[in-house]
Amino acid sequence: MDFRKGEIIAIDKPYRMSSFGALAHVRYLLSKKLGFKVKIGHAGTLDPLATGVLVLCTGKCTKQIEQLQTHTKEYTATLQLGATTASYDKEHSVNHTFPTEHITRELVEEVLKQFVGEIQQVPPTYSAVKVNGDRSYALRRAGEEVQLKPKTVRVDEIELTDYNDEKKTASIRVVCGKGTYIRSLARDIGRALDSGAFLTALRRTKAGSFSVENCIDFDHFQEWLDAQEIEDSLANS
């Protein structure tokens, strides 16, 4: 492998770690091993509370990041119905509760059909979306009100994989295009059910040709790296 010339790899990002934190750790291990500061970037952020496929590009492959970000992604997610939070996930505590007595598995399956195709979606205000040059989440944390405009996003597939009527939880699998926020999807599903919903779990299972089954285990990245045959295009030139 030639990390200077450029490699595209994928790691399984751990829970409660930012994408930048995961990338910084990989950069540190690569740079220590290779003896120079490795240029590295990621192709699509994952929220700290999400796990799964994080595609990393090194060296000259960083030029491909923009194109890689357009690739289709697949997620599995669990929604808690009947309540909402400010961030649409577990990062914030419940701020409103709603009736759920009317919700059935059949109703959830019917509602999910509304979200297939090109849809209008307002991103979460607790996100990295920029508002006049500032990150939306930074404005929210500073106590400011933020209004974001809807964006057109694409959902190719959405299916209900599990439903617990007693706990009012729903697990879904989503195949979608660039810029789709699964947290916003959870919020909108809750509203479409005349209730509320927020994410309790999110895992990116595929990103383009990478799937979670063939990702590098983040906690064992050093062992993976030690097993690779390393080349350096600069040393050979």
Residues 17 and 129 in one domain: no
Residues 136 and 120 in one domain: yes
pLDDT, tens only, 142-152: 888 888 999 99
Q: In whole numbers, what is the pLDDT of the chain averaged over residues?
A: 94
Residues 46 and 78 in one domain: no
Q: Is residue 3 part of a domain?
A: no
Residues 128 and 162 in one domain: yes
Q: Is residue 82 part of a domain?
A: yes
- For position 135, what pLDDT does the model report? 87
pLDDT at 237 over 60: no
What's the rounded mean pLDDT across residues 203-225? 97
pLDDT, tens only, 72-92: 999 999 999 999 999 999 999
3-state secondary structure the chain: CCCCCCCEEEEEECCCCCHHHHHHHHHHHHHHHHCCCCCEEECCCCCCCEEEEEEEEEHHHHHHHHHHHCCCEEEEEEEEECEEECCCCCCCCEEEECCCCCCCHHHHHHHHHHHCEEEEECCCCCCCCEECCEEHHHHHHCCCCCCCCCEEEEEEEEEEEEEECCCCEEEEEEEECCCCCHHHHHHHHHHHCCCCEEEEEEEEEEECCEEHHHCEEHHHHHHHHHCCCCCCHHHHC
| Catalytic choice (47, 134, 217, 219) | 47
Q: Is residue 1 part of a domain?
A: no
Q: Is residue 166 part of a domain?
A: yes
Domain extent, residue 152, equals 73-206
Predicted TM-score (pTM) of the model is 0.93
111 pLDDT tier (thresholds 50, 70, 90): very high
pLDDT at 235 over 80: no
pLDDT at 121 over 90: yes
> Is 47 annotated in the active site?
yes
As for how many domains the chain has, the answer is 2
